[in-house]
Amino acid sequence: MSRADQPPHGDGPATGRRERARLRREEIILIAAGMFAERGYRGTSLADVAARAGISEPGLLHHFGNKAGLLLAVIERRDLDSEAFAMELLGMEPADRLRALPEFARRNRHRTELAKLFTVLVAESLEPDAPGHGHFVARYRAMRAIVADTIRSAQRAGLTRAGLDPEAKAAEIIATLDGLQTQWLLDPEAVDIVAAVEAYARTLERDLTGS
């Protein structure tokens, strides 16, 4: 087949069409993310997403193949935000990273939807055959590795006490932040997420320095 050939009209309009499709995709992903956050992946139908996006169900499936494809697109999109966060954190001195936690909590406070999306999708991905399972397993392993590396470099710099297991502490830190987030999402009137993370940052500072 002549698959390697460029289409004869591959100048302006073709690129514009692809660009338009990409923007439409992006738009649908944001709509789907909002609905997954509120009702979960299982609680959201393709028809719901299509209606909100002003598209037919077959049109929706043209972009994402099937419902799991839409989920993976949402997860990947959400990961771009997380990566930006990780890069920002890794750009700081290890000693400053701890102090940055409440700032991120403060930022997330106004993006409830992102936090909710994450909590809901992880719970729907616990089973090995869930569409997002492999992704979240890899994501948590990477998160633990990054935090453990930070702890190790802080130990080498003498900022953190040596008798502390970096891997175990990394799991514990991520667990606490996740758990506080869940309590806040469930009951925002009873749990002040910024104050809770600030208090935990102080706990953690004492714990890490051993003071």
- Which residues would be at the binding site for DNA (CB under 7 A)? 17-18, 20-21, 24, 44-48, 55-63, 66-68
147: three-class secondary structure by DSSP: helix
Alpha carbon distance 104, 200 (integer Å): 13
| Phi, psi dihedrals of residue 192, rounded to the nearest 5° | -90, 105
Is 99 or 141 the residue whose CB approaches its own copies more closely? Answer: 141
49 neighbors 28 (Cβ within 8 angstroms): yes
Residue 99 interacts with which of DNA, its own copies, none, CB < 5 to 8 Å by class: none
Residue 122 binds which entry of DNA, its own copies, none, with Cβ cut-offs from 5 to 8 Å by kind?
its own copies
Nearer to DNA, 127 or 187 (CB): 127
Residue 133 contact, options DNA, its own copies, none, Cβ 5-8 Å cut-off depending on partner type: its own copies
- Cα end-to-end span (Å), the chain: 71
Q: Closer to its own copies by CB, 62 or 99: give it.
A: 99
Q: Which of its own copies, DNA, none interacts with 57 (beta carbon under 5 to 8 A by kind)?
A: DNA
Q: Which is nearer to DNA, 71 or 208 (CB)?
A: 71
How far apart (Å, rounded) are the C-alpha atoms in residues 195 and 186?
Answer: 16
Query: In the stretch 149-188, what mask flags binding to its own copies with x, by CB under 8 A?
Result: ----------------x--xx-xx-xxxxxxx-xx-xxx-
Q: Which one of its own copies, DNA, none interacts with residue 36, CB within 5 to 8 A by kind?
A: none
- Which of DNA, its own copies, none does residue 191 bind (CB under 5 to 8 Å by kind)? its own copies
Contact 25, 63 (CB under 8 A): yes
Q: Tell me, what DSSP letter sits at residue 163?
A: S
Q: Report in angstroms the alpha-carbon separations of 163 from 123, 149, 159, 200.
A: 33, 15, 12, 20
Alpha carbon 168 to chain centroid, angstroms: 22
Angle, vertex CA 142, rays to CA 139 and CA 147, nearest 5? 125
The distance of closest approach from Cβ of residue 186 to DNA in the complex, given in angstroms and rounded to an integer, is 23
Q: How far apart are CA 174 and CA 142, in angstroms?
A: 11
Q: In the complex, which residues of this chain contact its own copies (CB under 8 A)? A: 38-40, 42-43, 116, 119-120, 122-127, 133, 136-137, 140-141, 144, 165, 168-169, 171-172, 174-180, 182-183, 185-187, 190-191, 195-196, 199-200, 203, 206-207
